[in-house]
Copies of this chain bind each other. A is one copy, B any other.
Amino acid sequence: MLQFAQFGAGRIGAIHAANLAASGRAALRHVVDVHAPSAAALAAKHGATVSDTATALADPAVGAVIIASSTDTHADLVIAAAEAGKAIFCEKPIDLSLPRVDACLAAVAKAGVPMLVGFNRRFDPNFFELHRRIQAGAVGSVEQVVITSRDPGPPPVSYIKVSGGLFRDMTIHDFDMARWMLGEEPTEVFATGSVLVDKAIGEAGDIDSAMIILKTASGRMAHINNSRRAAYGYDQRVEVHGSAGRLIAGNRVGTTVEQADGKTVSTDLPLHFFLERYADAYRIELAAFLDAVEKGTPMPVGAEDGRQALVLADAAYRSLTEGRPVTIG
């Protein structure tokens, strides 16, 4: 049974640890977190030991790591884990700096360890099925992709400041989704944005609302729209237009109850919280990581995917700043 060291015992770390326990295929051996009570609680819950990084990575019984700590620690942990020969499950983003991401990729390549980057949405059953149908030819050749990605509410400005900004923190998921659905690398990015939700976000140097167009060499196009606030919940939809039809993956709702009264016919709002919306995705993502490690097959979302999404995010910022489309690669 694969033994894990996990870095980060916060909200997302707790999810991964719980999925690991429930998988019945792996065990949590070490928990590392700068916040000692969190580490202790998570370790206790899953029968693991609180460790420091060096100890955890030096343990020969550990075959894999989950990196779910704060973003600024990811790169060092990836490199150290690679050098220790561990399989790596790393939350997105690998890092906010492309050179550091490249250093990670180099370390991973040199060590020959498998690495999955946590683009959890690829494992959402809805988006996964949509993509499966594209692959199966259900709508012919892909021509245009429209991604709606709107958070229920903005994070605190303190988080915004260290997040790398909207494109690297939030849109990065959508860049990955666009690449996956387009089936081709975008070669041009045009991004525009505004501060419409919260002036404090603008004062922190970021935007809270954005629209983006990506284009590939063969002329396929993708549109992304983002907002840090959606009054009605977490809005996560993908629409793909192909030569033979259209595929849409919509939001998940709490219940199927429909109420008709003297005013309207109403149904449930989309699930509000990302941990709830993507609960299945996180579970399946970890299972996919375990599958790939166990069978030695390629990771479904690899380090290169993590890098490429950041390339698009960086290009989007350049486009936003310079007011022109930016060419990639």
B209 & A219 in contact (Cβ 8 Å cutoff): yes
Cβ of A227 within 8 Å of any chain B Cβ, yes or no, is yes
Cβ of A261 within 8 Å of any chain B Cβ, yes or no, is yes
Chain B residue, CB-CB nearest to A245: B261
Interface residues of A in 212-241 (CB under 8 A from B): 213, 215, 218-221, 223, 225, 227, 229-233, 235, 241
Q: Mark A243-285, 1 if CB is under 8 A from B, else 0.
A: 1111111111011111111111111111000000000000000
A184 CB to closest chain B CB (Å) equals: 12
Copies in the complex: 4
Q: Given A196-B220, A265-B266, A265-B267: A260 and B243 within 8 A (CB)?
A: no
- With a cutoff of 8 Å between Cβ atoms, the chain B residues found around residue A323 in the complex are 324-325
CA distance A323 to B324 in the complex (A): 8
Interface residues of A in 90-136 (CB under 8 A from B): 125-126, 129-130, 133
- With a cutoff of 8 Å between Cβ atoms, the chain B residues found around residue A269 in the complex are 260, 263-265
Q: Given A219-B194, A220-B194, A268-B264: A246 and B259 within 8 A (CB)?
A: yes
A10 CB to closest chain B CB (Å) equals: 20
Cβ of A313 within 8 Å of any chain B Cβ, yes or no, is no
Cβ of A148 within 8 Å of any chain B Cβ, yes or no, is yes
- Pick the residue among B144, B230, B247 that contacts A227 (CB under 8 A): B144
B256 & A144 in contact (Cβ 8 Å cutoff): no
Q: Given A231-B243, A325-B323: A148 and B146 within 8 A (CB)?
A: yes
Interface residues of A in 175-199 (CB under 8 A from B): 188, 190, 192, 194-197
- Pick the residue among B130, B138, B213, B262 that contacts A211 (CB under 8 A): B213
Cβ of A169 within 8 Å of any chain B Cβ, yes or no, is no
- With a cutoff of 8 Å between Cβ atoms, the chain B residues found around residue A218 in the complex are 194
- Pick the residue among B211, B260, B265 that contacts A144 (CB under 8 A): B211
CA distance A264 to B267 in the complex (A): 6
- With a cutoff of 8 Å between Cβ atoms, the chain B residues found around residue A188 in the complex are 192
A173 CB to closest chain B CB (Å) equals: 18
CA distance A305 to B252 in the complex (A): 33
Cβ of A54 within 8 Å of any chain B Cβ, yes or no, is no
Chain B residue, CB-CB nearest to A222: B211
Chain B residue, CB-CB nearest to A235: B246
A residues neighboring B (CB under 8 Å): 22, 125-126, 129-130, 133, 138-141, 143-144, 146, 148, 150, 188, 190, 192, 194-197, 209-211, 213, 215, 218-221, 223, 225, 227, 229-233, 235, 241, 243-252, 254-270, 323-325
Closest 8 pairs between A and B when the two form their complex, measured CB to CB: A194-B219, A245-B261, A232-B260, A264-B266, A250-B256, A266-B266, A246-B260, A126-B255
